[in-house]
Amino acid sequence: MIRLLRAVIDSAALRHNLGTIRAYAPGSKVMAVIKANAYGHGLVSTALALGDADAFAVARLEEGIALRAAGVRAPIVLLEGIFNAEQLAEAAHHGFELVVHDPLQIKLLEAHRDARRFVVWIKMDTGMNRLGFRPEAFGPALARLRALTVPSLELRVMTHLARADERSEPMTIAQIEKFEATLAAAGLTGVQRLATSIGNSAGTLGHPRAHGDWVRPGLALYGVSPFADATAAKHGLKPVMTLETTVLTVREVKRGETVGYAGAWRAERDSSIAILAAGYGDGLPRHLANGTPVLVAGARHPLVGRVSMDMIAVDVTGAPKVTAGSRAIVWGDGLPVEEVAAHAETIPYELLCGVSQRVPLELK
């Protein structure tokens, strides 16, 4: 069935992007970040398409359980960790790897009695000031984890970069140096070193020193550039989601007439206005600016008027081939989501994650 509006997910592009990321960090394993419904691309279907990934990262326990229920047997890392004994038991049952970033989580592990193997990622806060042990608290936290009686406990260590998307920003190097210095001060060098993970998408593509043993790409997997000054194509990435819609009708609007709520756009000439099936009920920002490009019947045309719940208006004056039933692309193949995000004064993450549940995902 051809739907009025759909998000077409290109599984081949997903696999291509994973291969591109491996080429950027050939000495690292890849932990594919598929939290938040795989950035709007479908949690389970994305995991199944990325079967060659070395591990998956999700934010919360429920996401990991959904993957296990779908038959995903690869390692799954809980980036936010667990927060009570029941969650810890559930994580042990499903064989999840835990990120530990708070003393409460260490306390829960100390009280836990289970013979199953655990992989624990201790998170160091090197400047993000969000999750993790500050450098001065890292050593004591590490000592407590090493003293655990949990059988077959494997410790690893990670941090998160705050400004890696700004390639000239010195904070990234400062974070990496703080990470390395803290590990050295804790004696984690040579044969005592632990496996490390530093680089997000921007760190992976732009900072070889951030690769570590594991990279954690998210946005780049979906074919989107993490850098404001470079396209995804420049990095060899292909867009995975194409948000396709349909022209409902084409209206002739006289010069001086307005279109949409509050008369926010007024025609300066006699105009042909295509009404498309997409709106803020589907995840488009209501404040998407006039002039935002939309691909209609293969050509770019400007959005006009306010985004409404179910529809947008696009000026297709001089394009007689655009009729009711014509296909259009809001973002994706031929129209990068990064470009649309700039017109919305937001970031691509928000547009992708914001696609609503009423928009069907179709794999190709």
153/146 Cα distance (integer angstroms):
8
* H helix or E strand, kind and range, residue 108: helix 103-111
Would residue 123 show up in a list of annotated catalytic residues for this protein?
no
358 assigned to some structural domain: yes
Question: What three-state secondary structure class fits 291?
Answer: coil
Question: What three-state secondary structure class fits 236?
Answer: coil
pLDDT tens sequence across 198-255: 999 999 999 999 999 999 999 999 999 999 999 999 999 999 999 999 999 999 999 9
6 assigned to some structural domain: no
Q: Looking at the structure, do residues 79 and 185 belong to the same domain, yes or no? A: yes
Q: Looking at the structure, do residues 188 and 255 belong to the same domain, yes or no? A: no
Q: Looking at the structure, do residues 215 and 289 belong to the same domain, yes or no? A: no
Segments forming the whole domain that contains residue 277: 241-363
Q: Looking at the structure, do residues 192 and 302 belong to the same domain, yes or no? A: no
Name the maximum alpha-carbon separation found in the chain: 78
Question: What is the distance in angstroms between the CA of the first residue and the CA of the last residue of the chain?
Answer: 14
- The DSSP call for residue 361 is E
Q: Looking at the structure, do residues 153 and 200 belong to the same domain, yes or no? A: yes
* 44: pLDDT strictly greater than 80: yes
Q: Is the CB of residue 305 less than 8 Å from the CB of residue 289?
A: no
Question: How many C-beta atoms lie closer than 10 Å to residue 321's C-beta?
Answer: 10
Among the three residues 195, 226, 257, which one is the final residue of a domain in this structure? 226
Count of the separate structural domains present in the chain: 2
Would residue 29 show up in a list of annotated catalytic residues for this protein?
no
313/26 Cα distance (integer angstroms):
46
Q: What is the mean pLDDT of the chain?
A: 96
**Catalytic option among 24, 35, 39, 222:** 35
Question: How many C-beta atoms lie closer than 10 Å to residue 11's C-beta?
Answer: 17
Residue 1 has a pLDDT of 64
> Could you tell me what percent of the chain has a pLDDT over 90?
93
**Catalytic option among 107, 234, 261, 321:** 261
Place of tokens 């017109």: 343
Radius of gyration of the chain (CA): 24
Q: What is the CATH number of the domain that holds 50?
A: 3.20.20.10
